[in-house]
Amino acid sequence: MGDRVADLRLRRNMTQEQLAERAGLSIDVVRKLEQGRRTTARLSSINALARALDTEPSFLVGQPTTFEVRTTEDSRLPSVLALRQAVSPVADLLGGDADPEDPPTIEALRASLASTETIRRDGRMSEIGALLPQLIRDARAAAHAYTGPNRAAAHSVLAVAYQVAATTLTALGKEDAAFTAMERSILAIQQCDDPALETLTASTLSWVFTKQGRLADAEQVALARADQIEPGFRSNSQDLALWGILLLRAATAAVRQEKHDAVTDLLRMAKGAAESMGDDHLVYATPFGPTNTAVARVNFLVEMDKGDEAIDASRIPRLGDLPPTWRARFHVDRALAYDSLGRDRAATTALMAAEKDAPEWMRYHSTSRRLVEDLRERAPRRDAALLGLADRLGLIG
């Protein structure tokens, strides 16, 4: 990361002091990054540097930009190009013949979407890359072929599939294609009249903006929709969950802007919604309830550099009810908290727990990769467990 920061700083004709001032960081942080004496930084600092250097956070952290190719029973290989072509087919620009095959039934489309969402929750990125382009093409064909309720149902599947594409492309640092996928999703939602999907769109768009470093936009999108759907005393669990998800999205953007008072208020409201629900619910592949709110609190404490409090708050019952990727992200937050306190062995153990829950997700997760590199640099002797983890993540050196 230090090399990328230095390269962009020189291209922008800035001194280290000017970059530090523009990013609102200490000159010491910039110097240590560029000199390689520090290999990682807090996400709020990474976002500040990205804004100052006019780039995306994904570029600075050097996250993977394509799918791994692994042997699977499915003959299709994951492909960023195939996903881009599915999201933006050339026929939309030049025109072309209709799909020559009969479109799949709505039941088949829904089954394919459910399977894809399960794969996404498990963090099996390469399988998403192999299956998602065909799902988008099938849903588009059905939306063009059907009329009436079936047409609306096909557009509903298509809208969610586009959002899965957006999150997948964002995870690979393809923010431009991700935004196009979100635009396509919004157009599809207009054909199916589903308020819950509109809320899901705001949540996903907020997440995409957060990953792009557009933190104010991410916060605004989530809060605007949350205000529109604010639940009342008689609201059902899904309405409460959708509202709570938006509050957590807004809090994620706020904490990376170091707006800690806003984070506290948003988390308090989300916790209230979760307690009203009583149990955890899964809404369009996103969990919300008491467990996920508690996990989010740990994340926010880590972001606010409150490692001791984060560790104290990490004793969460029913953690196993969450999807694998949510559990893995929680363990990475625990690792970050331990790392901030200089407890490298505990940080490594937490990372191992994350890998056990979602091994493939870990290989694409930039924060996990940065932390493993940092721990490896500091290891006083050859640590077989840590070196093995670094090797499985594809980290060289």
- Tell me whether residue 217 is in a domain: no
Q: How would you classify residue 281: left for phi > 0, otherwise alpha for psi between -120 and 50, otherwise beta? A: beta
- Tell me whether residue 263 is in a domain: no
Q: Using the 3D structure, point to which of 28, 49, 65 is the last residue of a domain.
A: 65
SS3 (DSSP) at 283: strand
- CA separation for the pair 175, 139 (Å, rounded): 23
Which pLDDT belongs to residue 57?
79
- Tell me whether residue 331 is in a domain: yes
- Tell me whether residue 203 is in a domain: no
- How large a percentage of the chain has pLDDT more than 90? 61
Which pLDDT belongs to residue 357?
96
Which pLDDT belongs to residue 366?
87
- Tell me whether residue 148 is in a domain: no
Higher pLDDT, 70 or 271: 271
Which pLDDT belongs to residue 397?
61
- Tell me whether residue 86 is in a domain: no
Range of the domain at 359: 323-397
SS3 (DSSP) at 32: helix
* Residue 355, both tokens: 């890998």
- The pLDDT-based confidence of 302 (bands split at 50, 70, 90) is very high
Beta bridge partners of 288: 281
> In the predicted model, what is the mean pLDDT of residues 95-104?
67
Q: What share of the chain is helix, strand, coil (3-state, %, to 5)?
A: 70, 0, 25
- What are the tens digits of pLDDT across the range 250-296? 999 999 999 999 999 999 999 999 999 989 998 888 899 999 999 99
Say yes or no to pLDDT of 44 above 70: yes
- Tell me whether residue 241 is in a domain: no
Q: Using the 3D structure, point to which of 29, 47, 65 is the last residue of a domain.
A: 65
DSSP symbol at 321: G
> In the predicted model, what is the mean pLDDT of residues 74-79?
72
Give the residue from 302, 312, 346, 324 showing the smallest Cα distance to 44: 302
SS3 (DSSP) at 352: helix
Which pLDDT belongs to residue 95?
65
Say yes or no to pLDDT of 74 above 60: no
Q: Using the 3D structure, point to which of 46, 65, 84 is the last residue of a domain.
A: 65
Which pLDDT belongs to residue 142?
94
Q: How many residues does the chain have?
A: 397
> In the predicted model, what is the mean pLDDT of residues 90-103?
68
C-beta of residue 1 within 8 angstroms of C-beta of residue 40? yes
> In the predicted model, what is the mean pLDDT of residues 168-187?
91
What's the mean per-residue pLDDT of the chain?
89
HSE toward the beta carbon, residue 26, CA cutoff 13 A: 5
- What are the tens digits of pLDDT across the range 182-236? 999 999 999 987 888 999 999 999 999 998 889 999 999 999 999 999 998 788 9
Say yes or no to pLDDT of 100 above 60: no
- Tell me whether residue 187 is in a domain: no
HSE toward the beta carbon, residue 282, CA cutoff 13 A: 10
Which pLDDT belongs to residue 97?
53
> In the predicted model, what is the mean pLDDT of residues 98-105?
73
Q: Which of 9-13, 72-76, 200-204 has the highest mean pLDDT?
A: 200-204
From 93-102, 199-208, 221-230, 297-306, the region with the lowest mean pLDDT: 93-102
- CA separation for the pair 40, 349 (Å, rounded): 19
* Residue 65, both tokens: 């930009």
Which pLDDT belongs to residue 229?
94
Q: How many independent structural domains does the chain possess?
A: 2
Using CB atoms within 10 Å of the CB of residue 257, give its burial: 0 to 12 exposed, 13 to 18 middle, 19+ buried: middle
Helix (H) / strand (E) element for 224: namely helix 215-229
Q: How many CB atoms lie within 10 A of CB 8?
A: 19
Q: Any idea what the CATH number is for the domain that residue 18 is in? A: 1.10.260.40
- What are the tens digits of pLDDT across the range 326-346? 999 999 999 999 999 999 999
- The pLDDT-based confidence of 123 (bands split at 50, 70, 90) is very high
